[in-house]
Chains A and B, each alone.
Chain A
Amino acid sequence: DTAVSQTPKYLVTQMGNDKSIKCEQNLGHDTMYWYKQDSKKFLKIMFSYNNKELIINETVPNRFSPKSPDKAHLNLHINSLELGDSAVYFCASSRELADTQYFGPGTRLTVL
């Protein structure tokens, strides 16, 4: 059973479009995260939710909006996509804040 899953795995789209990435975890964790990894492998945290409450909201354009319908799901919606949004986006979860994180397989977003 996959612990943290993301869909889609690949996403190719045009500039200006709106897209969503979905994340689900079946570990019973309270905390979920979104990260962006650039082409040099640098990992930047974007958001974190704890028990459906937004607790980390780093410097991210407001075109990015996370949504957590329940503790097991954290989706990422991106409006008006730009070339610079091209990256791999990782979802992760942890039992509680500051605990070991479990990462999904990533979604490779390419904006043309």
Chain B
Amino acid sequence: GDSVTQMEGPVTLSEEAFLTINCTYTATGYPSLFWYVQYPGEGLQLLLKATKADDKGSNKGFEATYRKETTSFHLEKGSVQVSDSAVYFCALSDRGGSYIPTFGRGTSLIVHP
């Protein structure tokens, strides 16, 4: 079946540091890939997405590129802020497969001033 693997956290950074959160996936069909963010005490919200190979999703300074050859969708940001502290989830929905949304286990990001 489909699966998503993302790096374990917590990831602890100083403000203005560079962020990478790795995400790799396995899927049988044509997955759409997503990054969701969950702030403390809230539900998940979409951060960015990509629906086909080589697409780049971007939002709020975050970027991720859909790499079919390496089955990856790594999240990056050039300069993190304290307000970026949250849990980040990589996810896929497989249009040609089961359609069941599959989430990674989440990566907690803590940014210190």
Contact yes or no, B32 A98, CB < 8 A: yes
Contact yes or no, A41 B93, CB < 8 A: no
Residues on the B chain within 8 Å of A90, using CB = 43-44
**Interface locus among A12-20, A74-82, A101-109:** A101-109
Closest to A105 in B: B43
Closest to A43 in B: B103
Q: Please, how many angstroms separate the alpha-carbon atoms of A100 and B49 in the complex?
A: 8
Residues on the A chain within 8 Å of B103, using CB = 43, 45
What string of 1s and 0s marks CB contacts (under 8 Å) between A54-75 and chain B?
0110100000000000000000
Which listed residue, B42, B99, B106, touches A106 by the CB 8 Å rule?
B42
The number of chain A residues with a CB under 8 A from chain B is 23
Residues on the B chain within 8 Å of A92, using CB = 43-44
Contact yes or no, B43 A103, CB < 8 A: yes
Residues on the A chain within 8 Å of B49, using CB = 100
Q: Is A97 an interface residue (CB 8 A)?
A: yes
By CB atoms of chain A within 10 A, which of B34, B38, B108 has the most? B38
**Residues 38-93 of B contacting A (Cβ, < 8 Å):** 38, 42-46, 49, 87, 89, 93
Contact yes or no, A98 B42, CB < 8 A: no
Residues on the B chain within 8 Å of A106, using CB = 42-43
Contact yes or no, B44 A103, CB < 8 A: yes
Residues on the A chain within 8 Å of B36, using CB = 101, 103
Which 5 pairs of residues, A with B, have the shortest CB-CB distance? A103-B43, A98-B93, A41-B106, A103-B44, A97-B99
Which residues of A are at the interface with B, using a C-beta cutoff of 8 A? 4, 33, 40-43, 45, 48, 55-56, 58, 90, 92, 97-106
